[in-house]
Amino acid sequence: MCNQINGVRGLMTLIKMEEILISSKCGPRWFFKWDISPEEHVEFLYRTLWVRFHYGHSDIFDRIFHITRGGISKASKVINLNQDIFAGFNSTLRQGFITHHEYIQVGKGHDTGMNQISLYEAKDAIGNGEQTLSRDVYRLGQRFDFYRMLSFYFTTVGFYFSSMITVLTVYVFLYGRIYVVLSGVEREILQNRNIHQSKTLEEALATQSIVQLGLLLVLPMVMEIGLEKGFRTALGDFIIMQLQLASVFFTFQLGTKAHYYGRTLLHGGSKYRPTGRGFVVFHATFADNYRRYSRSHFVKGLEILILLIVYEVYGSSYRSSHLYLFITISMWFLATSWLFAPFLFNPYGFDWQKTVDDWTDWKRWMGNRGGIGISPHKSWEFWWDEENDHLKYSNLRGKILEIILAFRFFVYQYGIVYHMDITHHNKDLLVFGLSWAALIIIFILLKASQMVSLKRQRIGTDFNLMFRILKALRFLGFLAVMTVLFVVYGLTISDLLAAIISFMPSGWAIILIAQTFKVCLKGSQLWDSVKELSRAYEYVMGLIIFLPIVILSWVPHASECQTRLLFNEAFSRGLQISMILAGKWAAYKSD
């Protein structure tokens, strides 16, 4: 044993007395030494799989020894997010081993809420993304044999890579099914008499939807609790976990891991995210939740929701079987979890007064133009610029991939346009070009309306009559165009809804592509138009997410039921006490 160190972090909460020994065993990686004393506890990751790289915590670490074995951390602060795991990589590359012998069990902990856990998961996902891109992981992969490579994958970045692949599989499945429906392939298969109808595959997909919900993943937990406390207790614990929406929580965290890991692989630009050590019995405002989860969950959840709606609308007219509902039920669950989980696990999430205050605060944040020294928590513009900072330092490969991924919305628009009644089943490419012409005209009208509003604010009240005449002419022109489209060209109400569903994602794709060219466009009129268009999208997205919260806030005793159902008794008592104290403080201020 080359070196060892004993220690306990001062601020840890002592569970029971323990001594922690961390050592690096020298020698070639094929050297196995089994003559250990019975007192030593040999861990599975070290002695069997030989893939233990991390030692636990940075305060319990022999720094001087590992400096001689390649160093502790990287020189770049960007990739040094997973504390000092690179020290374990360096020691392993030099044919060393990382062991961890436990004699005293020590634990530390602090109160954590939904937002703190999400920040921690984001930090870990970003760190694993930087590990995936590092030379250390590449060199380890080149030197390991096949079996040790498998252990290395599943004990380091494999979990986050699998999470990203799981989410990407949902996108590939939905866009594939949308293509099959909109192209007419599914209709031809189901209605053509010459094609032999077989529902075997559809029934197999319906039955495996139970697996998609992750119910098999709970079997190890049920078996462990059943062996220790009895299977009746295990079944009761499982039911309580489902009533407390544990599945919603872990599905939401899946989106956190996939988003930050994938974005780090594409663009890099990781940064440390402090999780905080404050008291968590407090209500997070709607603006706070929107800032945290807008890009990672809300945008993706709405996209999946729109794809599911389009798949059901354009496919249900000729589909007789309802087994497809079982096939897509896990995706409906995924989309709703990503959209509403932060509010379900938010104390006072459905309190009416809190909801009113949240709406006022969110409108103030969205409308604040900002200024010098204004933080992103006070202005939407500064938050929007900060949210796109990762594209500023991205390389050419990352930007090209971002643009290619944004083109999926244009393909989606292409499929829906040809199903509108106004096209009269015309399949010419000119129809798609006319749809783009209509989209460009809409953007020009919105820009003109914005410029008119700005000039009205600058000029004052002397030209109010002229501006009102312009608004009236604009309304009459819009009414005339819509009348011609309805009467002459056969436009229908369903076409209007289809146009909204089709053009909204295309506008978002234009915003994503423009953001990749931020360096070239910043400071121009075009960039200001992109910013205002993005603000309009944020308003619409916020309204869609906020509407169910308002409805649940109208329901009597919804907030109390949420608190009792999702939180334990001590936490619920804390909420009630904080409510009483807040009432006394409000009464004191009024006096």
280 close to 272: Cβ distance less than 8 angstroms: no
Contacts of 435 (CB under 8 A, 6+ apart): 413, 417, 502, 503
Give the end of a domain, one of 314, 347, 380: 347
Residue-level pLDDT at 161: 92
Place of tokens 């040809």: 418
61 found inside a domain: yes
Three-state secondary-structure class, residue 4: strand
527 found inside a domain: no
**What is residue 56's DSSP assignment?**
S
The residue segments making up the domain with residue 142 are 31-347
Maximum alpha-carbon separation in the chain: 95
Residue-level pLDDT at 145: 86
257 close to 160: Cβ distance less than 8 angstroms: yes
Whether residue 321 is found in the same domain as residue 189: yes
Place of tokens 């939740």: 289
379 found inside a domain: no
Give me the half-sphere count of Cα atoms (radius 13 Å) on the Cβ side of residue 305: 16
Whether residue 470 is found in the same domain as residue 577: no
Name the helix (H) or strand (E) containing 200: helix 200-207
Three-state secondary-structure class, residue 280: coil
What are the two backbone dihedrals, phi and then psi, of residue 474, each rounded to the nearest 5 degrees? -65, -40
Whether residue 74 is found in the same domain as residue 176: yes
258 close to 169: Cβ distance less than 8 angstroms: no
Whether residue 428 is found in the same domain as residue 341: no
Number of domains in the chain: 3
Q: Which two tokens stand for residue 368?
A: 């604040």
Whether residue 277 is found in the same domain as residue 128: yes
Q: What would the DSSP string read from start to end of 130-146? A: HHHHSHHHHHHHHHS-H
Residues in the chain: 591
Residue-level pLDDT at 36: 36
267 close to 398: Cβ distance less than 8 angstroms: yes
Q: How far apart are CA 296 and CA 259, in angstroms?
A: 6
61 close to 9: Cβ distance less than 8 angstroms: no
Q: Which two tokens stand for residue 51?
A: 């893939």
Span between the terminal Cα atoms of the chain, in Å: 71
539 close to 366: Cβ distance less than 8 angstroms: yes
Q: How far apart are CA 124 and CA 345, in angstroms?
A: 21
Whether residue 458 is found in the same domain as residue 329: no
- Kindly give the residue spans of alpha helices, DSSP state H, lying in 420-463: 429-459
Residue-level pLDDT at 373: 67
Calculate helix-pair angle for 352-367, 286-293, nearest 10 degrees. Answer: 60
7 close to 103: Cβ distance less than 8 angstroms: no
Residue-level pLDDT at 570: 52
Whether residue 273 is found in the same domain as residue 342: yes
52 close to 99: Cβ distance less than 8 angstroms: yes
16 found inside a domain: no
From first to last of its 591 residues, what are the pLDDT tens digits of the chain? 333 222 333 223 222 223 333 333 333 332 233 333 333 334 567 777 777 776 555 556 677 777 777 777 666 666 666 556 777 788 888 887 777 655 555 566 665 678 888 888 888 888 888 888 888 888 888 888 888 888 888 888 888 999 999 899 889 988 988 888 888 787 777 777 776 656 666 666 666 666 666 666 777 788 888 888 888 888 888 888 888 888 888 899 999 999 999 998 888 777 766 666 665 667 888 999 999 999 999 999 999 999 998 888 887 666 666 667 777 888 899 999 999 999 988 888 888 888 999 999 999 998 887 666 677 888 888 888 888 888 877 888 888 999 999 999 988 888 888 877 777 777 777 777 887 887 787 777 766 666 666 555 555 555 666 767 777 777 787 778 778 777 777 778 887 888 888 888 888 998 999 888 887 887 777 888 888 888 889 999 999 999 999 998 888 878 777 777 766 555 555 555 555 555 544 443 444
Closest CA to 155 of 119, 130, 134, 128: 128
277 found inside a domain: yes
The amino acid at residue 9 is: R
Whether residue 103 is found in the same domain as residue 42: yes
368 found inside a domain: no
Judge residue 559's burial from the number of C-beta atoms within 10 Å of its C-beta, 0-12 exposed, 13-18 middle, 19 or more buried: buried
Give me the half-sphere count of Cα atoms (radius 13 Å) on the Cβ side of residue 568: 3
26 found inside a domain: no
129 φ/ψ sector (left φ>0, alpha ψ -120 to 50, else beta): alpha
Closest CA to 92 of 143, 129, 19: 143
Q: Considering just the CA atoms, what is the radius of gyration of the chain in Å?
A: 29
Whether residue 97 is found in the same domain as residue 207: yes
Whether residue 146 is found in the same domain as residue 251: yes
Q: Which two tokens stand for residue 437?
A: 């012409």
Beta strand 20-25 with 4-5: parallel, antiparallel or unpaired? antiparallel
Question: 23 has which bridge partners?
Answer: 4, 99
Contacts of 491 (CB under 8 A, 6+ apart): 421, 422, 482, 485
529 found inside a domain: no
542 close to 367: Cβ distance less than 8 angstroms: no
185 close to 318: Cβ distance less than 8 angstroms: no
125 close to 223: Cβ distance less than 8 angstroms: no
Whether residue 133 is found in the same domain as residue 275: yes
Residue-level pLDDT at 396: 87
Whether residue 169 is found in the same domain as residue 39: yes
